[in-house]
Amino acid sequence: MRALLLSSHESPPSLVETAEPEPAKGEIKVRIATCGLNFADLLMMKGTYQDTPALPFVMGMEVAGRVEAVGAGVTGFAPGDRVAVYGGQGGLAELGCFPAERAVKLPDSMGWTEAAAFQIAYGTSHLALDHRARLQPGETLLVLGAAGGVGLTAVEIGHLMGARVVACARGADKLEAAKAAGADVLIDATTQDIRAEMKALGGADVVYDPVGGEQFAAAFRACRPEARILTIGFASGEVPQIKANHLLVKNLSVLGLYWGGYLSFRPEVLTRSLQQLIAWHGEGRLTPHVSNVLPLDRAEEGMALLRDRNSTGKVVITIQDI
């Protein structure tokens, strides 16, 4: 089978021919149709992601496909089932073996491309806004990086939860995508002062931040008392340093969110969240935004789109027709 293999953190991954894997106990073997790309893939390439596998490994964190075989002890799945899986690795290949507990069955209403774009982006935003920040109807939600893979889902879910959503992104095209996802107010990070614009709106109750750096600092200073700031990631490359006395004065809370981490200590929280999201999708209330669909032999081009921030929503790699 073909697979995109990373053998060194100093060199790009390469498309290779390798032996088909076979499922171990508790695993399912999936013939992969599509794989969603994530900013974490870029960090894995550099070896700086918190869950970077040991080299060499096949890249690709989340997939959609059809079960081909099941390992010993697996119940609830059978060959032919349509599934989405967060494997953490192994997705940019024609076949992969993944823990069955990480798989969810797909409704007929969800196509392969949507399914590969769904789990991490929507799961991250829903868990952050609902489980961590307890976003309430009528609150003001500021979404930084609002046209990115997770940012657009935060706009969409925040709107669904009844918040006033302020979307911050770079450029008119990206802001238009955020508006279509449900944003009430738009801030262009290239031309407008985030702090000043948010102060004029009365401040933020919740900040959703996958960017970090200067944008975090501006949003931090535009928070209302008792605001909650969600740290999702650091696409700017700069991890903010927080002054604890500023938290004290305004009674602020900074909440970390690593979606995949729930698999190890509270998987039921993640499962409930995905069930809610799939139900919303089935009701037509969520519409995954995929800006780029590329074949496996152009996966590195897809990574470059993320690295250079030239995508809106998700980038999905098609592996094969199944």
pLDDT tens by residue, 31-47: 999 999 999 999 999 99
Whether the CB-CB separation of 295 and 317 falls below 8 Å is answered with yes
How confident is the model at residue 159, as a pLDDT? 98
pLDDT score at 272: 87
Burial zone of 111 (CB within 10 Å; 0-12 exposed, 13-18 middle, 19+ buried)? middle
Q: Do domains 2-118+288-318 and 121-260 have the same CATH topology?
A: yes
**Residue 50's pLDDT is what?**
87
pLDDT of residue 45: 96
Q: Which structure tokens are listed for 69?
A: 């075989």
Could you tell me which of 188, 12, 21, 200 has the C-alpha nearest to residue 93? 21
Q: Do 242 and 254 touch, CB atoms closer than 8 A?
A: yes
DSSP string, 174-234: HHHHHHHTT-SEEEETTTS-HHHHHHHTT-EEEEEESS-HHHHHHHHTTEEEEEEEEE---
Listed as ranges, residues in the chain with pLDDT below 50 are none
Task: Record the tokens describing residue 13, joined without a space.
Answer: 């991954």
Query: CATH number of the domain at 121-260, please?
Result: 3.90.180.10
Q: Which two tokens stand for residue 174?
A: 């990206």
Domain regions of the chain by residue span: 2-118+288-318, 121-260
CATH code assigned to 2-118+288-318: 3.90.180.10
pLDDT at 215: 97
Which CB contacts under 8 angstroms, 24+ apart, belong to 292-297?
292/316, 293/113, 293/317, 293/318, 294/318, 296/2, 296/4, 296/15, 296/92, 297/15
